[in-house]
Structure 1
């Protein structure tokens, strides 16, 4: 009998001049990038949080704290790989991901297939099992003023229960 668990992740980062803009493991050309202790990839961070939450393993800050210089500037694809290992140790695997990026600019539609490929490869999924959507905030709030970016992710995990035998 399979056991299903759902997790929700959210991440916010400030946008600033002079930083690379990493989204979903892909370098997206833009005049601003996300500010953070790591490479500040909000999408991968939200996915990590969703996975960890679904497995009752806390959040990304518990496992990869921004107070630890080990993670200074780290590629968030590495954090996603390590998160995959953490949930696998508890017997879980990702079934699918649904995510939404909230940003005013740049338009990310051209980069979505590459993001899906990167995430799918790390998590051993098909690209059809990785949904990435984007929306603006119609110029409202910090996202609309291009001061920050937000990502939401929902992840479904499955755990194969070992049948009881005598």
Structure 2
């Protein structure tokens, strides 16, 4: 270091002391967060309170006339909507599957089967809220969600903020922890032919030990 070089130039002996690799220098707030993570982690994603787990969700629904198009709990202006037993909110379904996957709770079809009339035309936001309750019961807390909607049309940019705010409210998660994106397939495949819309989501979830303090879905 600069200080050691200066001491040597003054003719004083300098010795190397083997330190702890985990004893990181803390200067900024981000450094503090990193230090706290290191203190609570064994380096494998497991922490003193439990573990951090990643879940992935993917969903597709067909477009058809006579249905409202709902994405992220927001009604989108479009001549066709998505076909499904519930409101067919493909974005919310992908997020639900990501959360269920992280918690080891299967998928949306297992938890909310389309053979059950109780879920006929139900808002997917209600299902998302119920998944939040399931996570809480397991000591789970969502860290963040990253999702992408794949649709040839309509243009979704004007609706993204509304989707983020709606999902933030239902999940009790700060909007900056919900990353939403939209893309097309450049006219390729069933999405490019405007036969349907797809969505994919990844979620990071803290799962605490059952004997620890349960975390809420934020």
- Residues in 1 aligned to 2:123 and 2:69: alpha-carbon distance in whole angstroms: 12
Cα displacement (A) at 1:17: 1.2
Cα displacement (A) at 1:159: 2.3
TM-score, structure 2 normalization: 0.73
Instruction: Give the equivalent residue in structure 2 for 1:81.
Output: 129
- Residues in 2 aligned to 1:148 and 1:10: alpha-carbon distance in whole angstroms: 13
The structure carrying a bigger strand percent of its residues is: 1
Q: 1:124 aligns with which of 172, 189, 194?
A: 172
Instruction: Give the equivalent residue in structure 2 for 1:36.
Output: 84
- Residues in 2 aligned to 1:48 and 1:93: alpha-carbon distance in whole angstroms: 14
Instruction: Give the equivalent residue in structure 2 for 1:105.
Output: 153
Q: 1:25 aligns with which of 73, 81, 85?
A: 73
Instruction: Give the equivalent residue in structure 1 for 2:59.
Output: 11
Structure 2 portions without partners, runs of 5+: 1-47, 213-218
TM-score, structure 1 normalization: 0.96
Structure 1 portions without partners, runs of 5+: none
How many aligned positions are there? 163
Higher relative contact order (CA 8 A, sep 6+): 1
